[in-house]
Structure 1
Amino acid sequence: MNLSTGRVVPVLTTLLLLVPAVPASATTTGRDSPGGWSAAWSTAHHHPVPGNDWDGPNWSVPGFADQSVRQVVRVSAAGSLIRIRLSNRYGSQPLRLTGATVGRPTSGAAVRPGSLLPITFDHRRSTTVPAGAELTSDPVPLPVRALEALTVTLYFAGPTGPATFHQSGLTSTYRATGDHRFDHRAAAFTGETSQSWYHLAGVDVAGSPRTRGTVVTFGDSQTDGYGSTPAADNRYPDQLAEQLVGAGRPLAVANAGIGGNKLLADSTCYGERGVTRFRRDALGQPGVRVAVVLIGINDIGGGGYPDFGCGASPVVTAAQLIDGHRTLIRAARAERVTVIGVTMPPMKNATGYDTPPNEKVRDEVNRWIRDGGEYDAVVDLDRVLADPADPDALRPAYDHGDHLHFNDAGATAAAAAVAARIR
C-alpha cells in the first residue's frame, strides 16, 4: 500500500532481482549536498507548434501579450526555499517577463488568500530571458512539503512571440487578460484553459536536509504520462515520487519525458533527439543523482514514415539504438550520475508499431538493456507489464487502450519497478 495515496502497489516477482539495485548515494554530481537545490518538478520543452485534434489546442504559436499565465505544479520533495526556472530556448526573440508570483492553490486557478509571494530575478521583479536561454529566479522563502501543489503565475505585458512550451501537460493551465499575478480569485482565469506548460521549466527546492537530490525520469510519452488520467498526477514519475515519499526515501523526482520523442531523430513537434537533449533535460537538472532511461519505441514505430511536418523518421537498427543508449550512459558516467536502463514495454497490436521487423528490433534492444551489463541497473518493464498469456502484448489491466501506452494501473506497476532499483 502506498502510504501517501492509498494506492495498492503490486507485489513484484523475483524478476526485479535479476539486476542488483544501485543505491542513490553511490554516486554524486557535487550539486546535491543535503539542503542544496534539487529539482522537485520539471518539464522538458520543445518547439512551439499549432494545436491538433489529439493533443488539443495550445497557445504556443501566438504566445502572450498583456496576459497572465497561471500554472499549477506538484513538487516531489520538501524544502524551506523554492525557486523557478524559465525557458526561452525555442523563442524567436528575448522573452520579457513583467513579473511572477508563487502561491498555494486551493482549487482550479484559485490561490489561498495571503499566500501569494513575488518571484524576483537578480532582486528585480521583471527580467528578460534571451532567445535560446534559460534563467533561474532568486530563492523564495516558501516552505513546501513533498507532494504539495504550488501555483506559479507569469505576467507578460508586451508580446512574447512564439512560446517555448511542453504540449502534453495533462493538467489545466489558465490564461487571463491583464495583470493578475496577485489575484487569488479564479474568476479572471475561467475563460481560457490549455493542457500545456509554457516557459516554466522547473521548480527547485532547498533548505531541507531530508531532500538529498533528484531522480530524473527521461524518455517519451510513456514517461510523459500519456494514457494516465489527466489532472490526477498519475504519470509513472508522479507515482514514483509518491512511493519514494511513502517509503521514507529522501529523493525528489523530475519528469523529462516528451510525447513522441525519439532517441536518434529530431522533431519540430516532439523535441530534440534524446542523445542531444539528455545532457540538458536530465543531467542538467539541479541535484540529479539518478537518471532513469525509457526511450526508443518511437524510433522503431515511426521508422520509414514520410515527413508529415514534424521531421523525418528514418528506419533504425537495433545496433543504432544501442549506440544511442551507450551515448547516454557515457554522458551520465562523465557526470557521476547513476543511470538505470528500462526495457521498452510490449507493443503487440499497436497500430503502426507492431510489425515483425519492428518487434525484432525491440526484442534485440531489450535483450541488450537486460543482459548487456552496461547500465548501472535495469528495470525490465517489458516483462513487468506483459500479459502472462501473451508476453508480446501489454497486460489488459495495464493497457490504456491503444496497446502501446499503459494506464494508471500500469503506471503504478512501472513506478514500483523503478522504485525497487533505487535504494
Structure 2
Amino acid sequence: MAGKTRRNFTDEFKAETVALLESSDRPLSQLSQELGIEQSILRAWRRKLRPSGAQSPRPDTATSHGHAVTVPAITADQAEIRRLRRELERVQMERDILKKANRHLLGTCEMRFRFIDEHRQTFPVRVLCEVLEVSPAGYYAWRRRSESGRTTANRELLGEIRRVHEASRGRYGSPRVHAALRAEGVRAGRHRVARLMHQHGMAARRSRRGQPRTTNSRHALPIAPNLLERRFTAPAPNRVWLADLTYIRTGEGWLYLAVVLDLFSRRVVGWAMANHMRGELTLAALHMAIARQRPAPGLIAHSDRGSQYAASDYRAALAGIGARASMSRKGDPLDNAPMESFFKTLKAELVYNAEYATHSEARRDVFAFMEVWYNRQRLHSAIGYITPEQMELTAA
C-alpha cells in the first residue's frame, strides 16, 4: 500500500457501532481501541444517532441524607424468606461448582485439590470440598506440600492458557491458544498446551450441522465463469473478494447476513443485514466493501450462482469498478471454501451459543464479532496465526 488511506464508514456501520456503544457495559475508550476508531468520532456518531429519549444512566441518590436510619426488627416470615434465599444460593453455588468440575469428580484427589485451589477465590473452600467429596484438612495439607518444578511450571502455564482461552470467550482451541502464547513470548510445546487444556476441560466451541440452503441457482440470469478455480490465495489486498450470505435464527424470524471477504487477509470488508435475502442485501454488502476499500480495476469478485449475485444491479456495480465476476460450479460449496469457513466460524463461536429474541440483538452481536473480534483480534490459521488486520499491514 502506498500510504495510509482515509477510512470510510457507511451509515449502517455507524448505526451498528452506536447500538453497540449503547448496549455494552464496556467504556467508550475500550470500544474505541477495539474498533480502531477515535473516541471523538464515536462520540459524534453517538450524539447524532442516539435514539430520541435515551439518557445516560444516573447514579441512585441516597435516601438517608446523612441521618441515622432505624432498621425495623424482621418478622418470622421475613426470617424464613432469608433462610430460603440462603439455601437457594447454596444450591445454585453447588450446581455451578458441579458444572465447572465435571471431569474432576472422576479424577484423582490431586486433580480435585487442584480444582479447589483454582476456584477458591470464587467459591468457599468448605463448599468446594463438600461437592468434590474431599476433606478441607486434606486440601490444606496438599497445599502445604512442596510441589515439583514441573508441577509449578504447569500450574503457571495453565494460568496463561486460561487467560488466553477466556479472552477469546472460549472460542480458541489448543492451536490458537498455543499461537497466541507464542506471540506473547510464552514458551511451551503445542502438545503440552493441548494436554493441559484437555485435562481442565477447555476446548474450542463446536459448530452444528444442518444449515439450510440460501442459494437459488435455478434462474435464467447470466452465469460468470469460475476464475478462481480453488486458488485460495491472493498476492495483495483487494485483488480477490469472496461473497456469500447466510441466516441467523431470532425470535422475530430469520436475520439474513451478506458478507464480502478479502481473500488475501481474510478480512470482512463488507456486510449487510436484513430480514430478507433479496438482491438489495448482497448489493448493500458490496457497496460497503467498495466504499471502504476503493479497489483498483481488475478485482475478481467470486460468489456462488445465486440469483442475488447474477442480478443486473449486482453485475452493474462490479462493472462500475472494473471488477470481473466469478462464480462457483453448480452445487459445489468447496469452490468458495474460505467463505464457507468464515460462516462456520461465525456460527460455532457466536450464533450457536446464543438465543436472540430480536433482530437488533443479533445484529449487535454479529457486528461486534466481525468488526471487533474477527477482523482485529482473532488469530487466523490460514494466514499464519495472525489477525486479518495484521495481515493487511504486511502488504503496506
More strand by share: 1
| Structure-2-length-normalised TM-score | 0.27
Q: TM-score, normalised by structure 1?
A: 0.26
Higher relative contact order (CA 8 A, sep 6+): 1
